[in-house]
């Protein structure tokens, strides 16, 4: 495990063996007039830790995110009764999302809205997610109490890459989950032999005009975790991207890079199926949406046009058939 993303002012680039102990992209040497450029970099740095829960009865995602001019959190659960959403904004820079993941306790605590993660001292430990979200008008309460088994996690995806007009650092991990998610008076139990939580961590300096398509899914087989993380965004020629397969290995779980990803949706309905394929042919799946969560904001110099679909993936992962595996697919178009 590398000790830091940036050492001696030099940043590590490419696919890393694991998450560095400390991740702070702003430590990279910026030449003369370092302090003004670092201050500007702090304002441009976008940090988040988000989770996607994979369970046969519900779809759920939640996030702690800090754009430094604004911090926020969102959570939703979609079950057979519909989509329940809550959100809370906070002062920019107030979340202090950690450079060191193990151990750490990122959280947001406000009246009626508490969401936090408890990372154990070691990656192979037992990690926790806790949420207590009060009911609001028309939206029932949400409570999350999950334990994540780091000893049975997927191989980590850790990528550091330049972007046109910015840079990306992301860390992805899939972990078996046990515990409960409650929506109003409906309780859903998580079974670690079946159910999963997918981490999406970013510490990225995104270009002013940002766009991406991204999706993820995973399931537990008799051999181990099988799934994918796929993305399409403007990239710097010759640099790595975050698209990968999670597959069981002969002695340990493996994460394998994917060649160029193509997303194509059938015409007409916003909930029409999508085909998602890699140029090397090792991923060929169809995503069938069930519901859609969207966010749209138009400000003077900033704007967000975002949606995330929940549903299931069916097809082939590295020659292994997958059918009805839960996951998400999202699109972002923004001026940040």
User: Residues, the chain, total?
Assistant: 336
With contact defined as beta carbons under 8 Å apart, do 325 and 313 qualify?
yes
pLDDT tens string 98-150: 999 999 999 999 999 999 999 999 999 999 999 999 999 999 999 999 999 99
Q: Which of 21-30, 31-40, 52-61 has the lowest mean pLDDT?
A: 31-40
Give the residue-averaged pLDDT of 174-201. Answer: 98
pLDDT tens string 69-78: 889 999 999 9
Q: What is the dihedral of CA 329, 233, 39, 50, to 10 degrees?
A: 20
Q: Is the pLDDT of residue 37 over 70?
A: no
Quick one: residue 96, left, alpha or beta (phi over 0 = left, psi -120 to 50 = alpha)? left
Strand partners, 330: 214, 308
With contact defined as beta carbons under 8 Å apart, do 245 and 283 qualify?
yes
Report phi then psi at 332, rounded to 5. Answer: -125, 130
Burial 276-304 (b: 16+ CB within 10 A, else e): bbbeeebbebebebeebbeeeeeeeeeee
Side-chain-side CA neighbours of 71 within 13 Å: the count stands at: 19
Q: Is the pLDDT of residue 301 over 60?
A: no
Q: Is the pLDDT of residue 248 over 50?
A: yes
| Terminal Cα distance for the chain, rounded | 32
Higher local confidence (pLDDT), 88 or 294: 88
Longest CA–CA span in the chain (Å) reads 59
Q: How far is CA 41 from the centre of its chain?
A: 22
**Cα 111-116-120 angle, rounded to 5 deg:** 155
pLDDT computed for residue 36 by the predictor: 45
Q: Which of 149-163, 165-179, 267-281, 288-302 has the lowest mean pLDDT?
A: 288-302
Q: Is the pLDDT of residue 223 over 90?
A: yes
Burial class (CB in 10 A: 0-12, 13-18, 19+), 18: middle
In sequence order, the 6+-apart residues with CB closer than 8 A to the CB of 20 are 1, 2, 3, 4, 5, 12, 158
Strand partners, 15: 159
Please state, rounded to an integer, the average pLDDT across all residues of the chain. Answer: 93
pLDDT tens string 133-146: 999 999 999 999 99
CA–CA dist 78, 136 (Å, integer): 16
Report phi then psi at 16, rounded to 5. Answer: -100, 155
pLDDT computed for residue 294 by the predictor: 86
Report phi then psi at 152, rounded to 5. Answer: -115, 20
Rg from Cα positions in the chain:
19
With contact defined as beta carbons under 8 Å apart, do 198 and 173 qualify?
yes
Burial class (CB in 10 A: 0-12, 13-18, 19+), 318: middle
How are beta strands 71-79 and 59-66 bridged, if at all?
Answer: antiparallel
How are beta strands 113-118 and 209-220 bridged, if at all?
Answer: unpaired
Which tokens is 37 given?
């450029």
Count other Cβ atoms within 10 Å, centred on residue 74: 19
Which tokens is 8 given?
């001696």
Give the residue-averaged pLDDT of 84-110. Answer: 96
With contact defined as beta carbons under 8 Å apart, do 102 and 121 qualify?
yes
Mark out the alpha helices in the chain (DSSP H runs). 34-44
pLDDT computed for residue 43 by the predictor: 76
């Amino acid at each position: 495990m590398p000790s830091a993303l940036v050492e001696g002012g030099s940043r590590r680039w490419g696919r890393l063996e694991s998450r560095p102990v400390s991740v702070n992209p702003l430590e990279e040497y910026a030449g003369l007039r370092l302090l003004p450029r670092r201050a500007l970099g702090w304002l441009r740095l976008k940090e988040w830790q988000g989770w996607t829960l994979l369970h046969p009865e519900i779809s759920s995602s939640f996030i702690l995110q800090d754009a430094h001019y604004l911090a926020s959190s969102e959570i939703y659960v979609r079950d057979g009764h519909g989509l329940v959403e809550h959100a809370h904004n906070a002062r920019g820079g107030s979340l202090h999302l950690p450079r060191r993941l193990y151990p750490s306790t990122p959280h947001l605590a406000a009246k009626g809205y508490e969401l936090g993660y408890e990372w154990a001292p070691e990656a192979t430990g037992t990690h926790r997610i806790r949420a207590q979200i009060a009911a609001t008008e028309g939206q029932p309460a949400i409570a999350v109490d999950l334990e994540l088994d780091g000893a049975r996690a997927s191989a980590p995806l850790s990528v550091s890459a330049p972007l046109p007009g910015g840079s990306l650092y992301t860390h992805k991990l899939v972990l078996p989950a046990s515990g409960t998610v409650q929506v109003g008076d409906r309780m859903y139990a998580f079974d670690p032999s079946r159910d999963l939580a997918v981490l999406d961590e970013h510490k990225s300096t995104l270009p002013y005009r940002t766009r991406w398509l991204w999706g993820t899914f995973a399931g537990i087989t008799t051999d181990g975790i099988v799934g994918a993380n796929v993305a399409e965004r403007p990239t710097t020629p010759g640099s790595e991207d975050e698209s990968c397969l999670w597959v069981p290995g002969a002695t340990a779980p493996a994460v394998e890079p994917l060649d160029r990803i193509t997303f194509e949706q059938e015409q007409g309905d916003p909930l029409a199926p999508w085909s998602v394929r890699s140029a090397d042919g090792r991923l060929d799946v169809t995503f069938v949406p069930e519901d859609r969560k969207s966010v749209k904001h138009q400000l003077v110099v900033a704007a967000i046009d975002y949606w995330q679909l929940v549903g299931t993936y069916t097809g082939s992962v590295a020659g292994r058939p997958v059918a009805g595996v839960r996951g998400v697919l999202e699109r972002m178009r923004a001026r940040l």
